[in-house]
Amino acid sequence: MDGTINRRGFVLGGTAAGLSLALTGKAGAETPAIITRGAAEPVVVASSNGNRFKNAGAVTAVEKAFAMMTGGADILDSLVAGVNIVELDPLDHSVGYGGLPNADGVVQLDSCVMHGPKRRAGGVGALEGVRTPSLVAKAVMEHTDHHLIVGEGARRFARNMGFTIEDDLNTPNSRKLWLEWKRRIDPLHYLDPKSRSNAGHKAGLAMVEEGLVDRDHYYGTINCNGINAMGEIAGVTTTSGLAWKIPGRVGDSPILGAGLYVDGEVGAAGSTGRGEANLYNLSSYLIVENMRRGMHPKDAALDACRRIQKNTVEKRLLNSRGLPNFNISFYCLDARGRYAGVTMYGGQTYAVCTASGAKTLPTEFLLPGTPAG
């Protein structure tokens, strides 16, 4: 193996193939394997809210993450600090504080993180009371032998780790929107389960069409992935989930291989949109495996969209053209620093930050039109 081992036991330098791997540690104790690659062009890629919300500050999520990682901070620490901006911003209804609540009016949050160099991960699901679930997911990675803690257990874990627990993460506006949704579905009529579900979905989509709820925030998530100059890759996904979901519902965001997947030798992929479709197809894992086989991130993600389209056969999930009546988006990059934002349908954007600055770009897409078209 080429390269030298520093005093922390990490390999510096690389093999002829640009990859070194070492596993060292004291007797009886194991240090996580650290992957270091050859030089790469630093890039951060995220969902569009990663270059939109600033929480009354001066920088967006992708700008914060890029500045930290190019300044020498840990790759995952940088990305999490970036999404914290969006989690804490009450104007974004898709994640964290002020995220759109579940059917009972309670904000439940999901998140996961993956650290490519350390080959470690952590996640939380249905977490209540903590504005920054990405930090709790990172604590799961760093302080436990687990990958996922959910519900009341996640809340207790967060409290034990010193996180502030709040009774209610609603803002006045998120509560107002929930009350409007409740008014529209009129639960006093005691609809049967199927009718109740249809009424809730129609009410939500009607609020989107009327501009009360941002289309991107109805499903609502931020995914952020990055590669630094040393070729180290990491990713984070965090969300308040589907607006007005069944209490306890967990989508794809905290699930490794679905809402996020990172392989430090290959690349990273994450998603926003209909979580159930992504869960069924484990799309983020599929995208990374496609990149492992040499596909460009764009082509790898378009292949995942095709898989979702093929596997969507229930009539309730199809529009008048026989196509999926929902959207799903992917944000991915490979170990060469190539990146892409891809959606099932056009008209969407994504965020990226490189040495030339942050920008919002149109996504590549599989299908023309809109989901309901």
In this structure, what CATH number is given to the domain that contains residue 136? 3.60.20.30
Domain check: are 23 and 96 in the same one?
A: no
Consecutive 10-residue runs of the chain (373 residues): their mean pLDDT? 31 32 36 61 97 98 98 98 98 94 95 98 98 98 98 98 98 92 68 60 68 61 97 98 92 97 98 96 98 98 98 94 95 97 95 98 94 73
- Supply the pLDDT for residue 201: 63
Other Cβ atoms less than 10 A from the Cβ of 109: the count is: 30
List the one residue out of 1, 65, 59 whose CA is nearest residue 33. 1
- Amino acid letter, 185: I
Other Cβ atoms less than 10 A from the Cβ of 316: the count is: 9
Domain assignment present for 284: yes
Domain check: are 122 and 260 in the same one?
A: yes
- Supply the pLDDT for residue 213: 62
Domain check: are 23 and 141 in the same one?
A: no
The torsion of the CA quartet 54, 351, 107, 191, rounded to 10 degrees, works out to 140
Q: What is the CA radius of gyration of the chain?
A: 20
* Residues classed as catalytic: 221
Domain check: are 66 and 145 in the same one?
A: yes
- Supply the pLDDT for residue 4: 31
Domain assignment present for 183: no
Domain check: are 248 and 227 in the same one?
A: yes
Domain check: are 29 and 61 in the same one?
A: no
d(CA 280, CA 259): 11
- Supply the pLDDT for residue 372: 74
Which structure tokens are listed for 234? 């990491």
Domain check: are 112 and 159 in the same one?
A: yes
Domain assignment present for 118: yes
List the one residue out of 261, 263, 276 whose CA is nearest residue 330. 261
d(CA 296, CA 365): 14
Longest dimension (CA), the chain: 71
- Amino acid letter, 246: I
d(CA 242, CA 219): 4
212, 205 in Cβ contact below 8 A? no
- Supply the pLDDT for residue 193: 56
- Supply the pLDDT for residue 165: 98
Domain assignment present for 186: no
- Supply the pLDDT for residue 181: 86
Domain assignment present for 154: yes
Domain check: are 11 and 160 in the same one?
A: no
Domain check: are 23 and 151 in the same one?
A: no
Domain check: are 144 and 73 in the same one?
A: yes
- Domain encompassing residue 13: 4-37
Our count of domains for the chain comes to 2
- Supply the pLDDT for residue 2: 34
Domain assignment present for 203: no
Domain assignment present for 303: yes
- Supply the pLDDT for residue 15: 32
Whole-model pTM: value is: 0.85
Query: What CA–CA distances, in Å, run from 14 to 21, 37, 92, 207, 293?
Result: 8, 6, 42, 54, 22
Domain assignment present for 339: yes
126, 151 in Cβ contact below 8 A? yes
* N-terminal to C-terminal alpha carbon distance within the chain: 56
Domain check: are 151 and 251 in the same one?
A: yes
Q: Classify strands 364-367 and 339-345 as parallel, antiparallel or unpaired.
A: parallel
Please give the backbone phi and psi of residue 299, each rounded to the nearest 5 degrees, phi first.
Answer: -70, -35
Domain check: are 274 and 138 in the same one?
A: yes
- Supply the pLDDT for residue 7: 28
